[in-house]
Amino acid sequence: MHRTHHCGELRRSHVGQVVTLGGWVNSYRDHGENLVFIDLRDRYGKTQIVFNTEDSSEIDSLARRLRREDVVKVRGEVRYRGDALVNPKLATGEIEVRVQGLEILSRSKTPPFEVEGGDLPNEELRLKYRFVDLRRPELQKSIILRHQLTQAVREYFNARDFLEIETPMLGRSTPEGARDYLVPSRVHPGSFYALPQSPQIYKQILMVAGFDRYYQIARCFRDEDLRADRQPEFTQIDVEMAFVERDDILNMIDGLVAHVMKSIRSVEIPLPLPRYTYADVMERFGSDKPDLRFGMELIDIGAIAAASEFSVFRNVIGSGGRVRGINVKGAAEKYSRRLLDVDLKNFVGEFGAKGLAYMKVAGGKLESTIAKFFSDEQQQQIIQKMSGEDGDLLLFVADQPKVTSAALSALRNRLAKELKLYDPSDFRCHWVIDFPLVNWNPEEQRFDAEHHPFCQPNPEDVSYMTTDPGRVRADSYDLVVNGYEAASGSVRIHDSAVQQQVFDLLKINPEEAERRFGFLLEALRYGAPPHGGVGMGLDRWVMLLAGDDNIRDVIAFPKTQKAADLLTGAPSGVDDRQLRDLHIQVQLPEEK
């Protein structure tokens, strides 16, 4: 037997028992030939084991050769350490194991970095030696949290008649949306499978097939550039329901969120979760996924700006732009001119803003290099509109509407973080509903689907489908947590005629639609119930619950920004033989 207990288990109640433990040498404290302490570690915790010549003279030469990360098996008696020697930092700190037998199961090379203590090395090294990194308690905690979350999710859905159904990984490429990861077919020369960007079409077909409550913890693949919260392969909690309207789905997911928060964090959250319209959050926060842990809403001062003598503002208004600002409460003295004129100006520049105007509220008046362009009355109007008080910093962006939204919402997030305007452990969820159905794509001179082409138009807006498509709201919704898109879904089109209408709008002609999605359209012609669902980003949920802002820390084997796996060396070249089998010829990009 390799062990009778694990390393986080033994307590004072075990004193006197002879136990066997297995684990990694976390640290050793060598007091000479007669006394050696080892902290033995496994995923459950740490236990101090003691080698003392009084009771184990023949093994201490072996014990003294133990080094960090060696894997050992020890047998010994559990003893109380004594009142003065208890270590309150360890769950097992009241006891220690006096070793009677030691077996070294596996030696370790000196690890490239320390599992405990020491500074974290750069991520490149951590990823290359992921098996060492994953031994760190922080990562173990996240991986365990991830398991707990998936179990809570299964528990919730299983109790409500949902069926967990797997869908294929090798599917058909539907070239719309993200770039596909392709898999060449050996038996169909020149043909390719695509890895799923999401199980979207399959789950709709499952609804047509009568499995009216479905979920799946599904792996998804998107060949797009990465971010701190985006991996090329990620996991979705994929859900679909039939015979439902939007609110049935939102309520079901509300219940899931509450269940998860209860089981993971032991907190009750009030339901329903708040629901805001897209138009509302875009106006108030400039973002479709605003972080609501703090205020700092965007305020429009266009009317005042248009009447002022400040030509920059007036010209922007004259050319269809907007002047909007935020009030950074009490921050007038926290940002120097250099920070405002260089750092923050460059920051908003990344989002297309040509400038950043700022004013400080002092003595009930505005202090600014541009204050002279505003009459006393206009200054008072600005202060009132912005709810300004002495010591406040007012920041303005004057630009095209989209730019003011993008720049100010990014600025809002950055400043709130810098000024610690919220509790990082806070967890604020809300829905954003009524997204537009389509977006105008000026380059392609057509409308693109905002969500996806199977999303149902809001019945109240169908009359605009031909006259003013940009105005049509979709029956779609996102769940936003702390400024992250944590879930996204919609009611789907279950009528092939409506589906065709949407394809027309997206300039997907009937032949093309038939070629790409013919199987779905055909399925919709055989009795499709009203249905809808949601896909939730599991990795992001774990990240948020772990209080992290890096998705790689909640994935056991993540990829780098260039989608490489530094542990295994994927992707890699393959043998010519494999390429021949797949009828693939490689054409490398030309050298410069």
Q: Which of residues 199-218 bind RNA (CB under 7 A)?
A: 200
Under rule CB under 7 A, which residues in 495-534 are in contact with RNA? Answer: none
Under rule CB under 7 A, which residues in 569-588 are in contact with RNA? Answer: none
Using CB under 7 A as the binding rule, whether residue 125 contacts RNA is answered as yes
Under rule CB under 7 A, which residues in 267-326 are in contact with RNA? Answer: none
CB hemisphere CA count around 143 (13 angstroms) = 14
CA 148: distance to chain centroid?
Answer: 17
Using CB under 7 A as the binding rule, whether residue 568 contacts RNA is answered as no
CB of 350 to RNA, least distance (A): 5
Interacting span for RNA (CB under 7 A) from 29-37, 297-305, 381-389, 495-503: 29-37
In the block, which residue shows the tokens 């105007």?
357
Under rule CB under 7 A, which residues in 395-414 are in contact with RNA? Answer: 406, 410
Under rule CB under 7 A, which residues in 546-565 are in contact with RNA? Answer: 550, 552, 560-562, 564
- In a 3-state reduction of DSSP, which class is residue 439? strand
Considering beta carbons, is residue 119 or 268 the nearer one to RNA? Answer: 119
Measured distance CA(535)–CA(428) in Å, rounded: 19
Under rule CB under 7 A, which residues in 79-118 are in contact with RNA? Answer: 81-82, 85-87, 89-90, 93, 96, 110, 112-114, 117-118
* Residue 466: count of CB within 10 angstroms of its CB: 11
Interacting span for RNA (CB under 7 A) from 52-60, 133-141, 520-528, 538-546: 52-60
Considering beta carbons, is residue 283 or 549 the nearer one to RNA? Answer: 549
Q: What angle do CA 210, 211, 213 make, to 5 degrees?
A: 130
- In a 3-state reduction of DSSP, which class is residue 107? coil
CB of 491 to RNA, least distance (A): 14
CB of 457 to RNA, least distance (A): 14
CB of 10 to RNA, least distance (A): 14
| HEC readout, 207-230 | HHCCCCEEEEEEEEECCCCCECCE
Using CB under 7 A as the binding rule, whether residue 27 contacts RNA is answered as yes
- In a 3-state reduction of DSSP, which class is residue 113? coil
The dihedral built from the CA positions of residue 196, 197, 198 and 203, taken in this order, carries a sign that is negative
Q: What angle do CA 356, 361, 367 make, to 5 degrees?
A: 65
- In a 3-state reduction of DSSP, which class is residue 112? coil
| HEC readout, 235-253 | EEEEEEEECCCHHHHHHHH
CB of 348 to RNA, least distance (A): 11
Using CB under 7 A as the binding rule, whether residue 53 contacts RNA is answered as yes
Measured distance CA(523)–CA(425) in Å, rounded: 46
For residue 44, what are the contacts with CB-CB under 8 A and spacing of at least 6? 6, 7, 8, 9
The one among 155, 164, 166, 350 contacting RNA by CB under 7 A: 350
CB of 558 to RNA, least distance (A): 8
Question: Residue count at the site for RNA (CB under 7 A)?
Answer: 74
Considering beta carbons, is residue 215 or 374 the nearer one to RNA? Answer: 215
Using CB under 7 A as the binding rule, whether residue 48 contacts RNA is answered as yes
Using CB under 7 A as the binding rule, whether residue 54 contacts RNA is answered as yes
Under rule CB under 7 A, which residues in 161-180 are in contact with RNA? Answer: 174, 176-179
Using CB under 7 A as the binding rule, whether residue 592 contacts RNA is answered as yes
* Residue 359: count of CB within 10 angstroms of its CB: 25
Write the binding mask 221 to 260 for RNA: x where contact by CB under 7 A, - elsewhere: -x-xxxxxxx------------------------------
Tokens matching residue 262 = 């209860």
Task: Specify whether the CB–CB gap between 207 and 163 falls below 8 A.
Answer: no
CB of 163 to RNA, least distance (A): 21
Measured distance CA(417)–CA(427) in Å, rounded: 15
Considering beta carbons, is residue 143 or 178 the nearer one to RNA? Answer: 178
The one among 305, 542, 545, 566 contacting RNA by CB under 7 A: 566
Considering beta carbons, is residue 228 or 342 the nearer one to RNA? Answer: 228
Under rule CB under 7 A, which residues in 432-471 are in contact with RNA? Answer: 448-453
Using CB under 7 A as the binding rule, whether residue 421 contacts RNA is answered as no
Considering beta carbons, is residue 33 or 377 the nearer one to RNA? Answer: 33
Tokens matching residue 490 = 């919609």
Exposed/middle/buried for 270, CB within 10 Å: 0-12, 13-18, 19+? exposed
Q: What angle do CA 346, 352, 354 make, to 5 degrees?
A: 65
End-to-end CA distance of the chain: 62
